[in-house]
Amino acid sequence: MSNTHTLDALIQALRRLPGVGAKSAARMAFHLLQHDRAGAQVLSQALAQAAEQVQHCARCHTFTEAPVCATCLDPERDATRLCVVETPADQSALERTGAFRGLYFVLMGRLSPLDGVGPRDIGVQELLRRATDGVVQEVILATNFTSEGETTAHVVGEALRARGLRVTRLARGVPVGSELEYVDLGTIAHALADRR
């Protein structure tokens, strides 16, 4: 894009962001330098601070600045129910429903043998230890309904059941507000089978 080393270095660095190619990176660099230098400074500091301070909760593995996250420390939450999710974003989606008051275990990923992500990478051993603390009675598998999420739920679920835990999975069915005509057939078939 340019004959300045500093600018080229910025464009290269922006390309490390997921989903950002050469042209997007150049457009971002141009925008920040031409219209939002303050934004560049703010982002620079936020990145340095997060990379230095954000760690993993010792109990649930989610991102936190403390050794144990605020959710795990909250005495009002129901410690008998443990919900397993793939990412903090999924955890946040569940929290926003207000329908779950138990605790979480965040895998920080999903099983994906093709990408070299195995049970060790998503902390399955830690989950088994966490779930067999004698307090947890039910583990709710809330991994995504993608093939990788389903595989993860299957593997994790088997291991938990083998240790005598009650394991449930989020219900599959027709999304709220949708018309049957536009819902995919696999979803309708599941909704039929799981009718109540």
- Residues interacting with a second copy, by CB under 8 A? 1-7, 9-10, 12-14, 16-19, 23-24, 26-34, 36-37, 39-51, 53-54, 62-65, 69-71, 87-89, 92, 108-109
Q: How far apart are CA 147 and CA 152, in angstroms?
A: 9
Closest CB to a second copy among 127 and 167? 127
**Residue 161 CB, nearest approach to a second copy (Å):** 28
Task: With beta carbons less than 8 A apart as the criterion, state whether 141 and 94 touch.
Answer: no
What separation in angstroms does the CA of 63 have from each of 29, 54, 66, 89? 28, 6, 9, 11
**Residue 156 CB, nearest approach to a second copy (Å):** 19
Closest CB to a second copy among 23 and 172? 23
Task: With beta carbons less than 8 A apart as the criterion, state whether 56 and 64 touch.
Answer: yes
Quote the tokens at residue 114. Answer: 């093709």
All residues at 6 or more sequence positions from 172 whose CB lies less than 8 Å from its CB, including other chains: 145, 187, 190, 191, 194
**Residue 106 CB, nearest approach to a second copy (Å):** 10
All residues at 6 or more sequence positions from 149 whose CB lies less than 8 Å from its CB, including other chains: 86, 110, 143
All residues at 6 or more sequence positions from 171 whose CB lies less than 8 Å from its CB, including other chains: 194
Closest CB to a second copy among 43 and 192? 43
**Residue 163 CB, nearest approach to a second copy (Å):** 27
**Residue 2 CB, nearest approach to a second copy (Å):** 5
Closest CB to a second copy among 109 and 119? 109
Closest CB to a second copy among 1 and 159? 1
